[in-house]
Amino acid sequence: MKNVRLLLSLLLILSGYVASSQDSSFTKHAEPRLIAVVNRATWCRVCKANGERAGALLMSYTDKGLRIFMNDLTDSISIEASKAALRKENLYAAVYTSPRKGMGRMMQHCGLLKGKAQPSMATGIVTFINPVSHQRLQQVSIAVSNEEMKADIETMLK
């Protein structure tokens, strides 16, 4: 229960930041250098275990040009709302296009590697997207170490 509260608190902070960064009067990050879309769900074991740590790491890069979006896969209502928001930002195709390479490990962490689960519905992953071309650059599980995720983010920000 404590982990769920911490995760929800972090998500509220992240969503508040994302909402304020999308405001036209907010100019500090007008031109993002990298976009991160976080697939999450309240029922996801990986999200509960790693959400706070990964969220803090992602937030530390917002002043370097990282713009964060949440893709809430908790239930059908949140899924449709997230899809609409991603379409509005022209990010839907980068997040929901298949096939995705290297998804087996991430899906296994999330408990979704049963039969032929849809990779687009995998939780506990971050999809990094080029803000100009809106093409997917890389996907990373939030279960990877901070060092591994930092190295990936810094490479993409160069």
Domain count, the chain: 1
What would the pLDDT profile of 106-157 be if each residue is shown by its tens digit? 555 555 554 443 446 788 999 999 999 999 999 999 999 999 999 999 999 9
Residues 61/69, Cβ–Cβ less than 8 Å: no
Q: Which domain holds residue 114?
A: 2-157
CATH code for position 76: 3.40.30.10
What would the pLDDT profile of 10-46 be if each residue is shown by its tens digit? 555 555 544 444 443 333 445 899 999 999 999 999 9
CA distances from 98 to 15, 26, 94, 103, 156 (A): 26, 34, 9, 10, 22
